[in-house]
Structure 1
Amino acid sequence: MSNASTNAPAPQTPDGAPETSVRLVIGSVAVLMLLAALDQTIVSTALPTIVADLGGLDHLSWVVTAYILASTVVAPLYGKLGDTFGRRNVVFFSVSLFLIGSALCGMATSMLFLILARALQGLGGGGLFVLALSIIGDVIAPKDRGKIQGVFAGVFGLSSVAGPLLGGWFVDVFTWHWIFYINLPFGLLALAGFAYGFKPTGKRERAKIDLFGALTLSITLASVVLLTSLAGTQFPWSAPQSLGLMALFATALALFLIAETRAADPILPLALFKMNTFWVTSVISFISGAMMFGALTFIPVYLQLAKGASATASGLQLIPMTFGILSASTISGRFMTATGKYRRLPIIGLTLASLGLLSLTRLSADLPSWQLWASLVAVGAGMGTIFPVVTTAVQNAAPREMLGTATAAGLMFRQVGGSIAVALFGALFATRLAASMGGIDIPGLGNVAELGPQRLAALPAEAQAVLAQSVSTALRPVYAIATALAVTGLFFAFLLEEIPLESRITPHKPAPA
């Protein structure tokens, strides 16, 4: 591709594409990313209805786990495939898998059918996350990427709150099948816009895919996601299943590291970890994923069990966090575009997140709503300041031929961080809740999965008061650990080197030695 002429009559991207085409591409991939992100959370409020229709209560968690597991495992592979064969064709493949999986989910007649369809949907959805972020590096110069990455960060944050609300609305107004069917018209429309705006380059590379590296990395990710998702809920941490997954993780990780040192074209080049920007932003991505998903997961639990709010009302009270994400990501993006700098942003973001999470360690049954909302705004603003930076910084530093791979790695660390945090925080919360009940015998209170507003409403007033205080007390250590994570991330943020963002796309950068 040649650079655009400086005296061209219409605005041009550094790759020579008209600005209108760029906007069409950005809008299309934003819609695709929104659909993929929504499907991580939109199912949650519909699960009781789905179980009532299809049965299979014992396999309920797999409806969520199958999607998250599949999308996390394939993320690094999509990054490499996009770098090697071009992102346009890989987008078509990813979207096709996602839409076919969505259609099959809507047609499901059994729980097993739905779980398998969700896995197929996740195989496509994982690609949409990676490719959407990577395409920004193809059509937008580094200095201008901050604004777009800020929009995408807002989309990701919005989906976390909007998913459960939309899921409940579809169940109430239509049927649960439309949670999946709705992806089809919007996905096809967005794909058509992308196909029109993102033209093929005509370039193809012949490369030998690192199959063994891809396999061992997939097993590594799958084992850690399964371990943290199922251990402590489906079986104890000391059970043979847990120990087996731990051993599988350790073995697969060792084999992956060996494979990557020997592969001619590794799926995740270990040389990237020699780059300050890559390894520091990877640590920050892991921590920010843990903080965000941890905060989002347990605030509704607090609102429903300690405050007696309905599922819908508890979802609506997460809007301040979404507002913080949207506002801060927009401001951060514009700051990077205006200054070409980014280093101070994760420092500010992690400071805000630390303060917000620290204030959540004071949760109580009588906490005023405005204090909770202020805390959520601070956490959201912190996340919104961090998310655009980590992707923009690593894309600016990585060699162009590794752009997709580096982007995928950052997303992978965020997803894994979130999965691990939710599982470990959930186990800690359950243990603390059981301990803080003070020996009061109310069946089911030790099992977090069975708690809900309906059970709370059926309890005597005295038991409700004890439960409300116990839930608040049990959540305080969760947010104390989240605060410690944020402070740790702040330490690493000070280690981040700043490479000025360029005003044009550089075709190639020297690969790290």
Structure 2
Amino acid sequence: MLSALEGTIITSALPAITEALGGGNSYIWVPNAYLLASVATLPLFAQASNIFGRRNLLLIALALFVFGSGLSGGASSMGMLITARTIHGLGGGGINLLIETVVTDLVPLRERGKYMSLVMIGATIGATLGPFLRGIITDNSTWRWVFYLNLNIGSVAFLALFMFLRVNYKQDTTWRQRFRRIDLSGNLIFIGAFISVLIAVTWGGTAYEWKSFRIIVPLLLGFLGIALMLVSNRTSAVALGLTFIHAIVTYRTYYFLPIYFQSVKRQSAMHSGIDTLPTFAGGLVFALVGGVLLSKLGRYIPLHIAGFAVFTIAFGLLSLLDAKSNPAASVFFQLIAASGSGVLVGILLPAVQAPLDQNVVATSTGVWSFARYFGCIWGVTIPSVIFNNQCAVLASGLSDQVLASKLTGGQAYQHATAAFLDSIADPALQKEVVEVFTGALRVVWLVGIAFAGVGLLLVFLEKEVALSNNLNTEFGIQGAKKIDDLGGEREGAIEMTPVQAAGR
């Protein structure tokens, strides 16, 4: 819940942060630095948790998260904030991965969707509180409390985990031997790959043209490095692809629904947080529904089809929203999107792990978390690029060219607020700017249809694998008896890093 609270509380506060610290279109690195650090270190956390234990790594991750929160709150420049957010993300990624890994250690595959949905419900509660709290903070206090809020909550969580979490892990080697088992070179390749892709996507269409070698080269190198993550099982590979796409389309709604309410409906940050509650509250309910249905049916493909089909329809409906839209319509459209997102959120990991052996739980969970976080990065970056580029195109038709210049060069996002609109004295010009924001958002939603549609088509490449009711793990609760796995065959394995792949 703590990590999810951070993820959504920053979305509406981002324009205010950008206005206070400056930095132009570097604002995109505020969420992306967090997500990049979260993704890039997932293989390292997955490997290290097998060597040093889930509990120890979870405490380290939580400490990094709290420390990064404090640094972010005290940032005096955009560069300092981005650096602090990187530390913040190191902890955030580890927290999510290790919590999910502990759940998979303790719960049989068939029940995993239900318990993962409960974990996601906790995350959704945090995501639901985020929009409301961020609005209160940004409207009535300084944006710095968006980050300081994590200090108290994180400290309580650290003490609770330290006192009550007791799980097993192997301690049959020395500390030096354990450190040697960490694949540092493989992790460095992944970190470099992620940075290359993010640089290309962030600069593309703003700092340089997409056809520039400064964009093409890092993009190709980045994807080449990511391709070294080998997945030898088709069903697992498809489920990872679905996880990636699900994160892209979900984060698109998280980050741009607040922009719609602030820049088109001209609501305050606090009010936009309230307006987006149907997205998060609806996701909470449907996450539970998805987990229960998976446990009862034992089949994930029909649920995947339903989720992506509904999401495709939802983006079409969101593209209809404008300044004159009825509030009931925005609530209804959000609930449809939430049903598609929520049903899927807890049942993608079981599909990844269904064909795999229990002894690769941490590795497969790490790969799944990588796919999800990498999708989150694209879910913020792609619509941000689209929004800024479309605003620049549409702003060329404004009657005031001085005002139009404020919506070009990647500056549109930071001006997508009610305060910016209120600063425009001419009501006719205000209407023109609202139409610019509306048109740009419409393209953001329409592109979302394409992504959700690709997800729907990918589902048909999946294979339905029986979900076992048995569990065989060495990382269970201390003192608990191990249950032998009497399930059927397993089809393959996931490789986390290029060095591990080469050694097999």
Which of the residues 251, 272, 288 maps onto 1:314?
272
Counterpart residue identity of residue 133, structure 2: L
Paired with 1:305 and 1:359, the residues of 2 have a C-alpha distance of 19
Paired with 2:390 and 2:25, the residues of 1 have a C-alpha distance of 25
Contact 2:42 2:97 in 1 (8 A): yes
SS at match of 1:274: coil
Query: Counterpart of 1:20?
Result: none
Q: CA deviation at 1:288?
A: 0.8
Closer/same/farther in 2, CA of residues 490 and 61 from structure 1, 3 Å limit: closer
Paired with 1:58 and 1:178, the residues of 2 have a C-alpha distance of 23
Counterpart residue identity of residue 316, structure 1: I
Query: Counterpart of 1:360?
Result: 318
Which of the residues 186, 199, 208 maps onto 2:166?
199
Q: CA deviation at 1:159?
A: 4.0
The reply on whether 1:227 has 2:194 as its aligned counterpart is no
Q: CA deviation at 1:76?
A: 2.4
Unpaired runs of 5+ in structure 2? 173-177, 474-484, 494-504
Q: CA deviation at 1:329?
A: 0.6
Contact 1:345 1:386 in 2 (8 A): yes
Query: Counterpart of 1:410?
Result: 368
Counterpart residue identity of residue 202, structure 2: S
Paired with 1:309 and 1:170, the residues of 2 have a C-alpha distance of 15
Contact 2:131 2:277 in 1 (8 A): no
Query: Counterpart of 1:8?
Result: none
Counterpart residue identity of residue 445, structure 1: L
Structure 1 stretch 423-432 or stretch 200-209: which is displaced more?
200-209
Q: CA deviation at 1:331?
A: 1.0
Contact 2:245 2:375 in 1 (8 A): yes
Paired with 1:48 and 1:250, the residues of 2 have a C-alpha distance of 30
Paired with 1:433 and 1:59, the residues of 2 have a C-alpha distance of 17
Contact 1:229 1:423 in 2 (8 A): yes
Which of the residues 412, 415, 418 maps onto 1:453?
418
Query: Counterpart of 2:37?
Result: 70
Per the normalisation by structure 2, the TM-score is: 0.83
The reply on whether 1:209 has 2:182 as its aligned counterpart is yes
The reply on whether 1:498 has 2:464 as its aligned counterpart is yes
Closer/same/farther in 2, CA of residues 490 and 79 from structure 1, 3 Å limit: same
The reply on whether 1:125 has 2:92 as its aligned counterpart is yes
SS at match of 2:41: helix
Contact 1:304 1:452 in 2 (8 A): yes
**Percentage of matched positions with identical amino acids:** 29
Closer/same/farther in 2, CA of residues 52 and 448 from structure 1, 3 Å limit: closer
The reply on whether 1:337 has 2:281 as its aligned counterpart is no
Deviation per residue, 1:283-318 (Å, 9 max, x gap): 111111111111222222222222222222222211
Contact 1:153 1:325 in 2 (8 A): no
How many residues are matched? 465
Contact 1:38 1:162 in 2 (8 A): yes
- Aligned residue runs from structure 1 range 27-426, under 5 A: 34-46=1-13, 60-108=27-75, 111-171=78-138, 175-201=142-168, 203-204=170-171, 206=178, 208-233=181-206, 236-237=209-210, 241-250=214-223, 252-253=225-226, 257=228, 268=229, 270=230, 273-426=231-384
Query: Counterpart of 1:467?
Result: 433
Contact 1:83 1:402 in 2 (8 A): no
Paired with 2:367 and 2:125, the residues of 1 have a C-alpha distance of 22
Unpaired runs of 5+ in structure 1? 1-33, 258-267
Q: CA deviation at 1:135?
A: 1.0
Paired with 2:15 and 2:343, the residues of 1 have a C-alpha distance of 36
Paired with 1:241 and 1:162, the residues of 2 have a C-alpha distance of 40
Q: CA deviation at 1:501?
A: 2.5
Paired with 2:44 and 2:374, the residues of 1 have a C-alpha distance of 15
Paired with 2:431 and 2:449, the residues of 1 have a C-alpha distance of 27
Q: CA deviation at 1:244?
A: 4.9
Counterpart residue identity of residue 304, structure 1: Q
Paired with 1:111 and 1:487, the residues of 2 have a C-alpha distance of 37
SS at match of 1:309: coil
Paired with 1:58 and 1:480, the residues of 2 have a C-alpha distance of 23
Counterpart residue identity of residue 366, structure 2: A
Structure 1 stretch 45-54 or stretch 86-95: which is displaced more?
45-54
Closer/same/farther in 2, CA of residues 230 and 125 from structure 1, 3 Å limit: farther
Structure 1 stretch 240-249 or stretch 147-156: which is displaced more?
240-249
Paired with 1:59 and 1:179, the residues of 2 have a C-alpha distance of 19
Contact 2:6 2:150 in 1 (8 A): no
Query: Counterpart of 2:455?
Result: 489
Q: CA deviation at 1:220?
A: 0.9
Closer/same/farther in 2, CA of residues 200 and 362 from structure 1, 3 Å limit: closer
Closer/same/farther in 2, CA of residues 441 and 242 from structure 1, 3 Å limit: farther
Counterpart residue identity of residue 194, structure 1: L
Paired with 2:324 and 2:48, the residues of 1 have a C-alpha distance of 52
Considering Cα pairs closer than 8 Å and 6+ residues apart, tell me whether 1 or 2 has the greater RCO: 2
Paired with 1:143 and 1:37, the residues of 2 have a C-alpha distance of 25
RMSD value, Cα? 2.9
Q: CA deviation at 1:65?
A: 3.1
Deviation per residue, 1:454-483 (Å, 9 max, x gap): 232324222233333343333333222211
Query: Counterpart of 2:501?
Result: none
Counterpart residue identity of residue 379, structure 1: A
Contact 2:62 2:92 in 1 (8 A): yes
Counterpart residue identity of residue 454, structure 1: A
Paired with 1:363 and 1:177, the residues of 2 have a C-alpha distance of 32
